[in-house]
Structure 1
Amino acid sequence: MKNIITTLLGVFLIAFATEATAQSYKVIVNSANSTESISKKNLSEIFLKNKTKWDDGSSISPVDLKSSSATRKAFSNDVLGRDVGAIRSYWQQAAFSGKGTAPVERSSDAEVITFVKNNPGAVGYISESTDASGVKVLTIN
């Protein structure tokens, strides 16, 4: 009986952990962008500005949500593999050494959508529950 309870508890914890870490964001690009899907590795390279051109040669303009955003926290942990504080430190060091600047930040999902609509090379992320009308949602593979 004790083994059954332990096993059930383990299954419950795994199920809960999986649900709690489910993707809570969606990645968006300008509707004119021909990209349909993207890997987490490519997203990481884009948001760390190691990849600066789309496959068609056009410039990429990543846009972040404000650092206190729960969606940004989820995106940073899931895609960049680091928390928001570590990413901010990364960009402070890069700026200090002259190696680059952080992506532009917007305060809300609506502002990210507006930025992406107005910039053909833009890529951003918004809350999974936000209406993405007017922009294209990418499949993450």
Structure 2
Amino acid sequence: MKNIITTLLAIILIAFATEATAQSFEVIVNEANKTETISKKDLSEIFLKNKTKWDDGSSITPVDLKASSETRKAFSNEILERNVGAIRSYWQQAAFSGAGTAPVERSSEAEVITFVKNNPGAVGYISESTDASGVKVLTIN
């Protein structure tokens, strides 16, 4: 009986932890970008640099937060379906083989917002609680 209760408590805690990290970020683009919605698949392709052009043909420039960011951890887990360490390994292998380089990184959400404001093709992410003034927040479908 004790094992059943322990198992149930663990399941409940995992469910709450998953709920807490789900959608704890917003995807942002430059205000001039015509895009309004984006799929998780397209976001993953963009941040793995498999998709490099917006629908209008302009170049996409993804921007990541630093690896220790909780927002990056949530984004990587939910959108890329891999943890930050696995993504860093992916980019190390890509760089070593000459297949590509990782997205630019910024140290803070304010820096991500500034980067997106200054680069028309940029796409980044910030925590839901961060003020997104000056950039457009996309709907993820």
Please say whether Structure 1 and Structure 2 have the same fold, judged by a TM-score greater than 0.5: yes
Name stretches of at least 5 consecutive residues in structure 1 with no aligned partner: none
- Per the alignment, in what secondary structure is the counterpart of residue 96 of structure 1? helix
1:110 maps to 2:129 = no
1:20 maps to 2:20 = yes
- Count matched residues: 137
CA change 1:74–1:18 in 2 (3 A) is closer
In the other structure, the counterpart of 1:100 is 100
Cα-to-partner distance string for 1:49-98 (whole Å, 9 max, x where unaligned): 00000000000000000000000000000000000000000000000000
Cα deviation for residue 126 of structure 1 reads 0.3
In the other structure, the counterpart of 2:58 is 58
Cα deviation for residue 22 of structure 1 reads 2.3
Query: TM (normalized to structure 2)?
Result: 0.90
Query: TM (normalized to structure 1)?
Result: 0.90
Aligned counterparts of 1:21 and 1:127: Cα–Cα separation in 2: 10
Aligned counterparts of 2:39 and 2:83: Cα–Cα separation in 1: 19
Divergent runs of 4+, >3 A: 8-15
Name stretches of at least 5 consecutive residues in structure 2 with no aligned partner: none
Tell me the amino acid that sits aligned with residue 132 of structure 1: A
Cα deviation for residue 18 of structure 1 reads 4.7
**RMSD across aligned positions (CA):** 1.9
1:1-141 alignment, distance < 5 Å: 12=12, 16-141=16-141
Tell me the amino acid that sits aligned with residue 70 of structure 1: E
